[in-house]
Structure 1
């Protein structure tokens, strides 16, 4: 009989869990949750299945799980996904797809206790292969813990999807075979590449907002996600569920892509409670693990949150851990406290994502408050926050703000920014370039006109800007205003040959 071990610390001296999906009590949102699972081959890498004793190489198979807002057809009777359905995905990803269902608990990570058997018949909130809701939603790429399944945190993934997110996940898979090497730089790079592969896969979905992508990872997946952000400028936020960037910072720093300054987006690290001293000594762990969060401490360009959940042990940051994991009598809290902490973790993750991917003011207010001010029981969580060290304010930063408000009120925005950043100046050339780029995209032409109108108030003697504004009006079909602004440009620069030629054509 094969029995795998969980590839992390802090587990021994056991008792069995008493939990259920219903008792975890996550408050799902208004969307019905759809779920899809399929395998995509990554032809850029080759792979050998453990069961192929001939060592035949195949294109690397990536098992993909997606949760999304869906619609139930009332004419079709459907049953939601059961825990057993999810566990069948686990055995497929472990390359034991033909294993009898009754062997799942014995064969892999979890004890075949009566309580664990009861979990298999529980039903979740997700329905297989629903029709997607006809809207666009932010994308969350979830990276699993060390050598874990794409469905390890299915309850959290369902919860986020019910609140209007697309969540996509893959298993933590070795580079050339199922097993990883032991948490090496190569393992981290492989999982980071898998997360990047998932971004591409998610964007095939019409529901996906390509400009609103966040990363979420548990344990080793959290560290791998840090690496993804260090080389991907499209990521808008990071959620680390007791990520190994805390425990294996030395491994992260060995990557050729390592650069903490590239993490310039909101970051939240939700960590486990303090590890008891006797366990630290027994397992020869560095006591600084209880106090140091090296990546968080290093961040300079990110709004960063660090929360410690005082009733939470590392294993319970995943759904499968809460339901099936054997409890450690030396340090684990009661099942009720563990479920409450998982619920609190999920609430903070959702609130953070709402705040930074959906510009939710209530979410930002929640994050800014002391936990007790949010009606969270005293002693459950401690929080630290730090703001980015702003070295300068760039034209790109101005454009990001202006774009978010559809380029309205640029005069007021400019005044505010000059007061806040005295050294900041909007150059004539940058405004002209931005206006032209917006203008010649038919979907943003009106915004290009807004930029030129603002620019000509900032530089009222610029013949070039009035010439561009005139071209803008001509492009959108307003001949009268085109003529007026070509004349204004010509009055400022009588040698402007473009204005002379255009006026001849138009008059």
Structure 2
């Protein structure tokens, strides 16, 4: 092999510790000098030497019983022409528009006959493309990407059947969508087993790889890396509008490891997200990276949020790998949230690596802390079930799912904590949402009812006047504007300006009688109102 690139994958601890620096701070490049290759490869292997046990896992043993929907899968690459990018493996100075590989799983209509499901190897073909080694022969696959590890057990995974079918038709219906952000510099398909499970239960999942700003490599988990991945997530939020089968009003973000950090900042920028799922997300471990963003605003993370955390890290691992002990108990983001229904679950049989399908199937086991393969697979199954229930509760509003999330007791496999959102002060925007919801009809009774619940509500005169005019200037919403002015005059009965504006609305409606009456009322309150004087002169002629 002329060139080997080891892509960093956060499969031990999430972008936090010295023991993972070699995984998280760029690529290890090995040249054709065989001696150097052996030395560097040996160095990389020694970092795992403390406890490597190869796994005995399979998709079948994970036992994710599917729901009622067949699963379709498409993968394609589009471009973001607002950004440039360089294929570093090509060793030139050429920049292209930023490629965005897109993987999408969806409820499918299986009209074609004799369709074979994807295999694990088919998914790894996507990995090769996203790693910019699309022409790599499959025989080199497990050697080329060392985080897959070339073992007999891992070779056996390649022929396993997944549940998704390639390039089949979307089912003719609409479904909530989960936009997924992968872990540090990882592939869009790293959690394919979980995605298939969610889709079989009536969701669409869309994902793109985690990659650096200018090249495939990230800089080491910086704020810039986070915001680059956030922009890629935002690109997918635009991409979903291409699909008629996706309900754009029911969107959740989900991310593993570094993807959780990127999603947190995306929610702070985007008000259309309805729920946030974090698979041991790095927002727990690198709060400082989140805080450095110009978009950081805790008050804007006010949607249902769940964080699924890894098991307690044993003392021997903390000591030998120089991991801060506070990672076992500190969670600054969760503790700081005020306006979100927030949930935190700790899975006692999962260390960080096993929050992805890749980790469960291909990851090495650390004998210092990892449980048996059976327990790891059972815990991943439990993680998938809790994820589904949370999404059913937040995007589908299912009562049984809400009860599950709220009331499921702790067990030997899982512990939890939760807190309810504080009630934000009800303001004029909240009232306007209510008014809009009932088509700006019966606003005075609505105001009176709302005032009994929220006695501190203040609808300022200037705001009501501006809203009334804005609505009135739209030909199809004149009545809405008039209703706003009537409410405003109920609150401010001595406002000459409001009567003047209401009169203008009646003029737009071509109701001269009411226009004249309100201009006269305005003049009674303010004899110097030149607009009312001028308008009344016009209306006399």
Q: Tell me the CA shift for residue 232 of structure 1.
A: 1.8
Residue equivalent to 2:343:
305
Match of 2:121 in 1: 84
Whether the aligned pair in 1 keeps the contact of 2:468 and 2:485 (CA below 8 Å) is: no
Q: 1:360 Cα shift?
A: 2.2
Q: Does 1:213 align with 2:251?
A: yes
C-alpha displacement at 1:415, in angstroms? 7.0
Task: Please list the CA deviations of residues 23-61 of structure 1 after superposition, one character each: whole Å capped at 9, or x if unmatched.
Answer: 222233332222110111222222221321223222221
Instruction: State the shift of 1:65 in Å.
Output: 0.5
Q: 1:483 deviation in Å?
A: 12
Q: State the match for 2:40 in structure 1.
A: none
Query: Match of 2:260, SS?
Result: helix
| Pairs within 5 Å for 1:79-158 | 79-108=116-145, 109-158=147-196
Give the gaps of 5 or more residues in structure 2. Answer: 14-47, 525-531
Q: Distance in 1 between matches of 2:482 and 2:63?
A: 49
Deviation of the 1:137 alpha carbon: 2.5
Task: Determine if the alignment matches structure 1 residue 9 to structure 2 residue 47.
Answer: no
Q: Please give the alpha-carbon distance, in whole angstroms, between the structure 2 residues aligned to 1:278 and 1:169.
A: 36
Q: Which of the two has higher C-alpha Rg?
A: 2
Residue 367 (structure 1) aligned to one of 405, 424, 430? 405
Change in CA separation of 1:317 and 1:59 when aligned onto 2, cut-off 3 Å: same
Cα gap change, 1:452/1:164 in structure 2, threshold over 3 Å: closer, same or farther?
farther
Offset at residue 7 of structure 1 (A): 3.5
Which of 309, 315, 319 does residue 281 from structure 1 map onto?
319
Q: Is the 8 A contact 2:470 2:481 kept in 1?
A: no
Q: Deviations over 1:248-272 (max 9, x none)?
A: 1112222222222221211111110
Q: Secondary structure at the match of 2:242?
A: coil
350-359 vs 270-279, which deviates more? 350-359
Moved more, 80-89 or 124-133: 124-133
Change (3 A) 1:404 1:8: farther
Q: Cα–Cα, structure 1 residues 135 and 49, in superposed 2: closer, same or farther, change >3 Å?
A: same
1:187 aligns with 2:187: no
Which 5+ residue runs of structure 1 have no aligned equivalent?
none
1: CA distance, partners of 2:82 / 2:275: 27
Distance 1:403 1:378 in 2: 45
Q: What does residue 325 of structure 1 align with? A: 363
Match in the other structure for 1:424: 457
Match of residue 382, structure 2, among 339, 344, 349: 344
Aligned residues: 493
Deviations 1:229-251 (A, max 9, x none): 22222222211110111111112
Residue 237 of structure 1 contacts residue 265 of structure 1 at CA under 8 Å; is this kept in 2? yes
Report deviation, 1:114: 2.2
Q: Is the 8 A contact 2:461 2:492 kept in 1?
A: no
Q: CA shift at 1:447, angstroms?
A: 11
The verdict on how the C-alpha distance between 1:456 and 1:167 changes in structure 2, with shifts beyond 3 A counting, is same
Q: Which residues of 2 match residues 197-208 of structure 1 at below 5 A?
A: 197-208=235-246
1:223 to 247, 261, 269: 261
Q: 2:415 aligns with which of 382, 385, 400?
A: 382
Taking a change above 3 Å as real, the CA distance of residues 400 and 135 of structure 1, as seen in their structure-2 partners, is farther
Question: Residues 441 and 480 of structure 2 are in contact (CA less than 8 Å); yes or no, is this contact kept in structure 1?
Answer: no
Structure-1 separation of matches of 2:168 and 2:472: 40
Between the aligned partners of 1:126 and 1:457, the Cα distance in structure 2 is: 60
Alpha carbons of 1:436 and 1:328: their partners in 2 closer, same or farther (altered >3 Å)?
A: farther
Query: How many angstroms does 1:430 deviate by?
Result: 6.6
| Equivalence map 1:428-439=2 (5 Å) | none
Deviations 1:353-394 (A, max 9, x none): 22222222222222211x33xxxx722211111222334012
**Which aligned pairs between 1:5-44 and structure 2 lie closer than 5 A?**
6-10=9-13, 12-44=50-82
SS at 2:243 equivalent:
coil
- 1:406 to partner: Cα distance: 8.3
Q: Judging changes above 3 Å, is the alpha-carbon distance between structure 1 residues 107 and 201 closer, same or farther for their aligned structure 2 residues?
A: same
Q: How far does residue 209 in structure 1 lie from its aligned partner after superposition?
A: 2.5
In 2, the alpha carbon distance for the partners of 1:393 and 1:328 equals: 51
